[in-house]
Amino acid sequence: ARCWSPGPPRRACASRRACLIARFNFIYAKERLDAEMLLRPFVCDLEMVQRIIYLAAVESFHSAKMAFCKIKISVKDTLALDHCGEPSSLEVAALDYIACHKDLYDVCCSVQEVICSITKNPKLPCPAGVDFTVISSLIQELCCLAFSMQTLIPPLDIAFGVDGELFNRTMYYRSFDSDFTAPFVAYHVWPALLEDGAVVVKGEVVTKK
């Protein structure tokens, strides 16, 4: 059977979902910290470094999701020419096709978009001359991961955090250097992973009074 025949088997989809969640956890545990080390020679403040990496994660998901939407429209238009089933089965066929043809995604374009967005962000008063291409490997991994997560049914996404929000223990862990009595989030270290609004993997925040 061709890879893009309608609908991946549930078992295969569940396996792909588990692999993507494991990849998300690995990036948090390893590659995020590697990126911190790469930024520290340019930005001495750890809080600023963590804010940069969090923003990189948020912008990577945003860019990848926008690219995915455009590709899905194009794929559905192409598959519709030979499709005889229900619209819902066309949607599944398109997701299946994209999952098997990740080369449709120009991840380098997304990486550049993310770096540009971080550079222009007014909330990051970084020292002049910081070149965010030093974390381009992390950004590329996040973009590819976010793109693949959109092929799942339902898709996986990250929570959008806001500085000053009330700490939610079901969505976040507190960093070790947090004030554990503080009720509000000072800043976000890593986003929570969601599925249909439910928390799949907790994120990390710093709470301070």
Strand pairing partners for 206? 187
Of 139, 155, 171, the residue that ends a domain is: 155
Query: Is 22 in a helix, a strand, or coil?
Result: helix
Q: Are residues 147 and 185 in the same domain?
A: no
Q: Are residues 163 and 146 in the same domain?
A: no
Q: Are residues 201 and 123 in the same domain?
A: no
Letter for the amino acid at 101?
H
How does pLDDT run along the chain (209 residues), one tens digit per residue? Answer: 334 444 445 566 889 999 999 999 999 999 999 999 999 999 989 999 999 999 999 999 999 999 999 999 999 988 887 766 666 688 888 999 999 998 999 999 999 999 999 998 887 777 667 889 999 999 999 999 999 999 999 999 999 999 999 999 999 999 999 999 999 999 999 999 999 999 999 999 999 98
201: left (phi over 0), alpha (psi -120 to 50) or beta: beta
Res 130: pLDDT: 85
Q: Is residue 16 part of a domain?
A: yes
**Nearest in space to 23 (alpha carbons), one of 110, 149, 124:** 149
Q: Are residues 60 and 96 in the same domain?
A: yes
* Helix, strand, coil tally for the chain in percent (to 5): 55, 10, 35
Q: Are residues 50 and 64 in the same domain?
A: yes
For the record, the structure tokens of 4 come out as 């893009």
**Nearest in space to 141 (alpha carbons), one of 61, 43, 209:** 61
Q: Is residue 2 part of a domain?
A: no
Q: Is residue 76 part of a domain?
A: yes
Q: Are residues 122 and 74 in the same domain?
A: yes
Q: Are residues 105 and 55 in the same domain?
A: yes
Q: Are 39 and 49 in contact (CB under 8 A)?
A: yes
Q: Is residue 6 part of a domain?
A: no
Q: Are 106 and 20 in contact (CB under 8 A)?
A: no
Per the structure, how many domains does the chain have? 2
Q: Are 66 and 109 in contact (CB under 8 A)?
A: no
For the record, the structure tokens of 177 come out as 């250097």
Domain holding 37, by residue range, is 11-155
Q: Is residue 5 part of a domain?
A: no
Phi, psi values for residue 62, rounded to 5°: -60, -50
> Cα 104–120–156 angle (5° rounding)?
40
Phi, psi values for residue 188, rounded to 5°: -100, 140
pTM for this one?
0.90
Res 79: pLDDT: 87
